[in-house]
Amino acid sequence: MTSFPLHRRELRSLLDEGDATLGEAMGPPQVFRPGDKLIRVGEPSDNIFRIHTGWVARARDLLYGKRQIVAIFLPGDLAGVKSMLLERQPDSVECLTDVVAQSIDAGALSKLAEANYAVALRIMFQLGEDERRRDNWVSALGKADAEQRLADMLLDLRGRLHRLGLVKDDTFRFPMTQQQIGDFAGLRVVHVNRVLRRFREFEIAVVSKGTATILNSEALGRRAAFVQDVFERETPEFSGAPLL
């Protein structure tokens, strides 16, 4: 089931309805491999994707071989919504893992949203949630140190995956390489390695072999709270509160 973190409660049924209607209108599920690009930077794109399984990143290629991962999409997310609005895409959208996703043409989705308020609301929610996460992450990149950034990243992913039923005993799949973590967190790989080692040595969290385990939620939460928004600080799966 798609997760709608922090939604207005009165909108839940409409969001579920819009998500179900959108899924029925999309094409059959397609399988993509790590490194496959759903959307290519600078090129036209007419497709919006709904992720069923796997991890997808929106990334921007900078000058001199640098790269910034702007967002991570997880199951239930809509990726490439800006295809409805832009003729050419400023970022690439690419698979970090094996991915199963459906897609729909931007023109068809526009007509569907015009005729169905629940679908329009579902699209609005995705844009709003993308903006909320981005604002949090801009705060982290601008004001947080390396430990605070990685703590915030781990708790954000734990919260989103927990709402999808993909966290067990505070362990969840974490397929990002240290280079990809660095590209997301704005850190050199040596700094990523140093922080993850410190988390492991102080029994705060362990990231290894494609999984992450949070050992001390409170300690991680103390570091992440500096840049979290008020809603995340108060929501157990996103904060440092232990999960029951």
pLDDT at 4 over 80: no
User: What's the total number of domains in the chain?
Assistant: 2
CB atoms within 10 A of CB 235: 16
The CA distance from 30 to 235, in Å, is: 34
Query: Are 128 and 193 contained in the same domain?
Result: no
Query: Are 126 and 164 contained in the same domain?
Result: no
- Asked if residue 169 belongs to a domain, the reply is yes
DSSP letter at 86 equals -
Residue 177 pLDDT grade (very low, low, confident, very high; cuts 50, 70, 90): very high
Q: Name the one residue in this structure whose structure tokens are 């919504």.
A: 81
Residue where one domain finishes, among candidates 134, 167, 197: 134
Mean pLDDT of 44-69: 92
Burial class (CB in 10 A: 0-12, 13-18, 19+), 192: buried
- Asked if residue 4 belongs to a domain, the reply is no
**Strands of 37-39's sheet, edge to edge?**
37-39, 92-95, 56-61, 67-73
* Whether 184 contacts 71, CB under 8 Å: no
What pLDDT score was predicted for residue 237? 87
**CATH number of the CATH domain containing 182:** 1.10.10.10
Query: Are 117 and 159 contained in the same domain?
Result: no
**CATH number of the CATH domain containing 27:** 2.60.120.10
Enter the pTM of the model: 0.92
**Strands of 205-208's sheet, edge to edge?**
171-173, 211-214, 205-208
Query: Are 95 and 163 contained in the same domain?
Result: no
More confident call, 135 vs 87: 135
Mean pLDDT, the chain, rounded, equals: 92
Query: Are 150 and 187 contained in the same domain?
Result: yes
pLDDT at 231 over 70: yes
Query: Are 216 and 188 contained in the same domain?
Result: yes
45, 73, 83, 179, 229 from 91: Cα distances, Å: 11, 14, 11, 19, 26
* Whether 48 contacts 79, CB under 8 Å: yes
Query: Are 96 and 14 contained in the same domain?
Result: yes
Q: Show the domain range for 149.
A: 144-234
